[in-house]
């Protein structure tokens, strides 16, 4: 029996990472890389969602090009025209992901953030008693979408938590999670940025046909799941503002929204703008992590005047690493921890134009952006996560969770 135990201990731990979204994969990359390089861990990736959808750029190609092992391709049926499709997609996702998990039998399953595909993945894994790690739990985005409720539900289901900031860790403990389960590791994507692991200036300029003489606006606006009736009212002012700047010679880079409910309506409006054939507007289904970060990096050392516009979380979490001014439109990112390079606006054309001009030409604000500190940066997130997955005991204590509420403890919080 002792020899069998020693053989089990020597076997590499099988780690499966789930990814269902283009942006999510870029954020996961340092974790994937660290696990892939760890001598005691065996990595495979479950690819799902928009990665497999040609309407959103088939970003599976990016994963293939990076050379990581794909353990399963999981098609989740999703019609993004209505909110009804979310429930259907989650149900279908649970069925399909559980089948893949049964085949692979991982020692640990890892899921990111707050999307419906990830929610389905966490339900499937935890109901199969598979130790599950959740990344980026404890954050707040109270902007009218379903993100917060889904994220917190994923936290309560998961066994281990890797957070991007101390506030998030405190919230998770406040939700009754045992403190030993919670690890504050920082925002993984910033590790790549800090090492300049993105496309070069020359590659970005050539790939996107840009020049450094005119300002560049990067735009992504997603739907808000609880406000689907207002999609046109929310996207039209943004596109009208971009049209104004394009006609002044500004270079506009528009990327598609994600595949949430309502996304197709935004894509339709973007394509209407495309049909106008305005010279300086370029539209992409997906830029990919390397090109996107390389584009933001043009802001460093004033190589170009860049402003990030829209309601993507990357405008909140990633742009501070490039000291890049950001215009955050609407309520989607309300409540999220942020740096001081952000200007918030309503869905109003004139407000958006004013904010973009401030980002590009207000020297006082631009100096603030140049000195901004990223509240999500700690460093070494990928390696920290890989080490926890290697060292933690996989036993009944890990699987059988307890609620640790302050009022239940005689001596207050403890580890």
Per-residue model confidence as pLDDT tens digits over 18-56: 998 777 888 899 999 999 999 999 999 999 987 777 666
Over residues 337-345, mean pLDDT: 96
- Write out pLDDT tens, residues 273-306: 989 989 899 999 889 889 999 999 999 978 899 9
Residue 9 has pLDDT above 60, yes or no: no
pLDDT at 82: 67
Return the percentage of the chain with pLDDT > 90, whole number. Answer: 69
Residue 6 has pLDDT above 50, yes or no: no
Residue 415 has pLDDT above 50, yes or no: no
Compute CA distances 342 → 143, 236, 308, 318, 415, whole Å: 16, 21, 9, 11, 37
pLDDT at 414: 46
Q: Which of 19-28, 39-48, 224-233, 321-330 has the lowest mean pLDDT?
A: 19-28
pLDDT at 5: 44
Delimit the CATH 3.40.50.2000 region(s) of the chain. 2-186+378-408, 196-370
pLDDT at 400: 95
Q: Which of 13-22, 136-145, 178-187 has the lowest mean pLDDT?
A: 136-145
Residue 405 has pLDDT above 90, yes or no: no
Question: What pTM was computed for the model?
Answer: 0.87
Helix (H) or strand (E) holding 198: none
pLDDT at 404: 79
pLDDT at 236: 97
pLDDT at 342: 97
pLDDT at 144: 54
The better pLDDT of the pair 377, 81 is held by 377
pLDDT at 408: 62
Rounded-to-integer distance, Cα 138 and Cα 188, Å: 15
Q: Which of 73-87, 172-186, 274-288 has the lowest mean pLDDT?
A: 73-87
pLDDT at 79: 66
List beta partners, residue 326: 308, 342
pLDDT at 58: 59
List for the chain the helix, strand, coil content (%; round to 5): 50, 15, 35
Superfamily for 196-370? Answer: Glycogen Phosphorylase B; (3.40.50.2000)
Task: Give the tokens for residue 206.
Answer: 């050539």
Over residues 13-17, mean pLDDT: 98
Which CATH architecture does the domain made up of 2-186+378-408 adopt?
Answer: 3-Layer(aba) Sandwich (3.40)
pLDDT at 409: 53
List beta partners, residue 410: none
Average pLDDT value for the chain: 90
Buried b (16+ CB within 10 A) or exposed e, 55-67: ebbebbebbeeee
Over residues 341-353, mean pLDDT: 97
């Amino acid at each position: 029996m002792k020899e069998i135990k020693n053989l089990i201990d020597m076997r590499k731990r099988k780690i499966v990472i789930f990814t269902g979204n283009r942006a999510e994969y870029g954020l996961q990359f340092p974790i994937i890389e660290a696990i892939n390089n760890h001598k005691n861990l065996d990595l495979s990736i479950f690819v799902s969602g928009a990665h497999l959808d040609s309407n959103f750029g088939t970003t599976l190609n990016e994963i293939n090009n990076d050379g990581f092992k794909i353990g399963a391709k999981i098609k989740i049926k999703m019609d993004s025209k209505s909110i009804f499709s979310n429930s259907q997609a989650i149900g279908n996702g649970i069925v399909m992901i559980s089948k893949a998990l049964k085949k692979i039998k991982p020692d640990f399953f890892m899921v990111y953030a707050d999307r419906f595909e990830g929610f389905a993945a966490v339900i499937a894994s935890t109901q199969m008693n598979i130790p599950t790690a959740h990344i980026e739990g404890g954050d707040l985005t109270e902007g009218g979408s379903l993100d917060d409720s889904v994220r917190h539900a994923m936290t309560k289901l998961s066994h281990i938590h890797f957070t991007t900031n101390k506030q998030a860790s405190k919230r998770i403990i406040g939700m009754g999670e045992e403190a030993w389960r919670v690890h504050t590791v920082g925002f993984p994507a910033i590790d790549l940025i800090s090492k300049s692991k993105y496309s070069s200036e020359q590659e970005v300029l050539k790939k996107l046909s840009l020049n450094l003489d005119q300002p560049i606006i990067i735009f992504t606006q997603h739907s808000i799941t609880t406000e689907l009736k207002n999609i046109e009212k929310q996207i039209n002012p943004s596109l009208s503002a971009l049209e104004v700047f394009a006609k002044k010679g500004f270079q506009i880079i528009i990327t598609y929204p994600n595949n949430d409910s309502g996304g197709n309506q935004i894509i339709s409006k973007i394509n209407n703008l495309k049909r106008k054939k305005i010279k300086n507007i370029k539209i992409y289904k997906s830029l990919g992590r390397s090109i996107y970060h390389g584009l933001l990096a043009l802001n460093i050392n004033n190589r170009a005047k860049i402003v990030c516009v829209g309601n993507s979380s990357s405008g909140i979490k990633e742009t501070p690493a490039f000291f890049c001014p950001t215009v955050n439109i609407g309520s989607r990112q309300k409540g999220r921890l942020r740096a001081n390079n952000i200007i918030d606006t309503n869905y109003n054309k004139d407000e958006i134009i004013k904010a973009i001009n401030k980002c590009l030409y207000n020297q006082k604000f631009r100096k603030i952006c140049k000195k901004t500190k990223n509240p999500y940066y700690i460093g070494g997130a990928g390696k920290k996560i890989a080490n926890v997955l290697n060292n933690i005991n996989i036993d009944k204590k890990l699987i059988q969770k307890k609620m640790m509420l302050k009022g239940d403890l005689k001596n207050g919080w403890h580890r």
